[in-house]
């Protein structure tokens, strides 16, 4: 059964998307932050590259220094295999731009999250679809010889189940197999409902598990792991107060058609700043802040996991196609 609500008490609103952090600031330019945008109208895909270059940029956006590539497409939510394949190819190219891999590189793929909670199961679901090859050694199928890198995949679970900090598990595995790159997949939280299940962010700045939901865990990044870390994430939940706030925006727009501007109720709501209105809504929600996910999350999560897995399989194994992956998985 789909999980419609994730109830999590949090101190204030956050977003895991660097793109949204930049949009929330009113300044036209921010020192230390560079943005480039690519649009493909035919495919309905927008790719935004946000580069946080120094401490000033990091402080302004509340994100670590690094590159954040965001792909947006409503086709991600649809059962459109051809569109998903194109999205995977684009993401694979962007991942290659973020980090150049040698042909003999060893990669560790980590699926973060709780597989028992549907909106948080993206990482474990992706790991099940990764073409793992480190164990093969010389026993590689002849038609794939020279096309595979050594790839391992783990789903360490969450601390509430294991009692172990996720970063500690990953660090221990990394010290044993000595990967050249760690790729961490995690479900994210978004500021805008339109970006739920339709946005993918990849970053070379690592990941803070649970940060968007107000949970503080040890960051999984180059500093803590000792090797480069690429983070891949999709927002699967939205803050309930944000949902109400967006609904109020639409309500105000509708009210403006039928009420005069001097109507006291309309005037009060329309004059409030977004931050003030959000704070009021959060205070009114007596059960604390909640996170909400779409009702079709089960089916959509399956598609999203396929997109991410195909992206990684194509990017990590030179010469491999989606058809090859489907044959050997």
Q: Which of 49-58, 202-211, 301-310 has the lowest mean pLDDT?
A: 202-211
pLDDT of the residue at 328: 64
Query: Are residues 325 and 37 in contact, defined by beta-carbon separation less than 8 angstroms?
Result: no
Q: What is the rounded radius of gyration, in angstroms, for the C-alpha atoms of the chain?
A: 21
Rounded to whole angstroms, the Cα distance separating 117 from 238 reads 15
Fold of the domain spanning 5-238+296-328: Rossmann fold (3.40.50)
pLDDT of the residue at 17: 93
| Residues 158-191 pLDDT 10s | 888 888 999 999 999 999 999 999 999 999 988 8
What separation, in Å, do the N-terminal and C-terminal C-alpha atoms of the chain show? 27
| Residues 59-101 pLDDT 10s | 999 899 999 999 999 999 888 889 999 999 999 999 999 999 9
In the predicted model, what is the mean pLDDT of residues 125-154?
84
Give the pairing of strands 106-111 and 229-239: unpaired
pLDDT of the residue at 12: 46
Which of 145, 149, 143 has its CA nearest to residue 131? 149
**β-pair partners for 184:** 110, 231
Beta carbons within 10 angstroms of residue 78's beta carbon? 13
Query: Are residues 72 and 234 in contact, defined by beta-carbon separation less than 8 angstroms?
Result: no
DSSP element (H, E) containing 312:
helix 297-316
Reduced to 3 states (helix: H, G, I; strand: E, B; else coil), residue 221 is: coil
Reduced to 3 states (helix: H, G, I; strand: E, B; else coil), residue 321 is: coil
Phi and psi for 123 in degrees, rounded to 5?
-60, -55
Reduced to 3 states (helix: H, G, I; strand: E, B; else coil), residue 140 is: coil
pLDDT of the residue at 29: 78
pLDDT of the residue at 3: 34
| Residues 90-121 pLDDT 10s | 999 999 999 999 988 999 999 999 988 888 99
- Supply the mean pLDDT for the chain: 82
Give the pairing of strands 199-203 and 66-72: antiparallel
pLDDT of the residue at 297: 80
- Per DSSP, 287 falls in state T
Which of 329, 247, 320 has its CA nearest to residue 88? 320
Locate 230 and state its tokens. Answer: 């690429």
pLDDT of the residue at 256: 61
Query: Are residues 300 and 77 in contact, defined by beta-carbon separation less than 8 angstroms?
Result: yes
Q: pLDDT > 90: what percent of the chain?
A: 50
In Å, the largest CA–CA distance within the chain is 78
Is the predicted pLDDT of residue 211 greater than 90, yes or no? no
Phi and psi for 210 in degrees, rounded to 5?
80, 5
pLDDT of the residue at 272: 61
Q: Which of 22-36, 220-234, 308-322 has the lowest mean pLDDT?
A: 22-36
**Roughly what angle, to the nearest 10 degrees, separates helices 297-316 and 81-98?**
50
Locate 177 and state its tokens. Answer: 């197999």
Rounded to whole angstroms, the Cα distance separating 39 from 190 reads 21
């Amino acid at each position: 059964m789909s999980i419609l609500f994730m109830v999590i008490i949090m101190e204030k609103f956050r977003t895991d998307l660097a793109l949204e952090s930049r949009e929330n600031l009113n300044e036209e330019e921010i020192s230390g932050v560079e943005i480039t945008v690519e649009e493909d109208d035919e495919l309905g895909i927008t790719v935004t590259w946000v580069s946080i270059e120094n401490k000033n940029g990091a402080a302004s956006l509340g994100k670590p220094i690094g590159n954040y590539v965001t792909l947006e497409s409503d086709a991600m939510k649809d059962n459109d295999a051809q569109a998903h394949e194109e999205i995977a190819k684009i993401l694979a190219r962007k991942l290659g731009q973020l980090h150049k891999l040698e042909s003999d590189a060893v990669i560790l793929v980590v699926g973060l999250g709780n597989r028992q909670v549907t909106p948080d199961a993206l990482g474990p679901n992706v790991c099940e679809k990764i073409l793992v090859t480190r164990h093969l050694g010389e026993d590689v199928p002849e038609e794939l010889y020279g096309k595979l890198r050594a790839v391992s995949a783990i789903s360490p679970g969450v601390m509430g189940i294991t009692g172990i900090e996720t970063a500690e598990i990953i660090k221990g595995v990394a010290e044993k197999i000595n990967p050249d790159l760690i790729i961490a997949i995690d479900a994210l939280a978004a500021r805008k409902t339109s970006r739920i299940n339709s946005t993918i962010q990849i970053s070379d700045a690592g990941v803070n598990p649970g940060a968007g939901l107000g949970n503080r865990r040890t960051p999984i990044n180059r500093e803590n792991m000792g090797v480069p870390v690429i983070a891949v994430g999709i927002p699967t939940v939205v803050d309930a107060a944000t949902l109400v706030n967006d609904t109020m925006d639409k309500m105000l727009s509708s009210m403006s058609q039928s009420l005069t501007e001097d109507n006291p109720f309309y005037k009060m709501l329309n004059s409030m700043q977004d931050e003030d209105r959000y704070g009021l809504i959060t205070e009114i929600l007596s059960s604390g802040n909640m996170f909400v996910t779409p009702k079709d999350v089960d089916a959509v999560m399956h598609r999203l996991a396929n997109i991410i897995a195909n992206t990684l399989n194509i990017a990590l194994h030179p010469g491999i196609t989606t058809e090859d992956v489907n044959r050997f998985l």
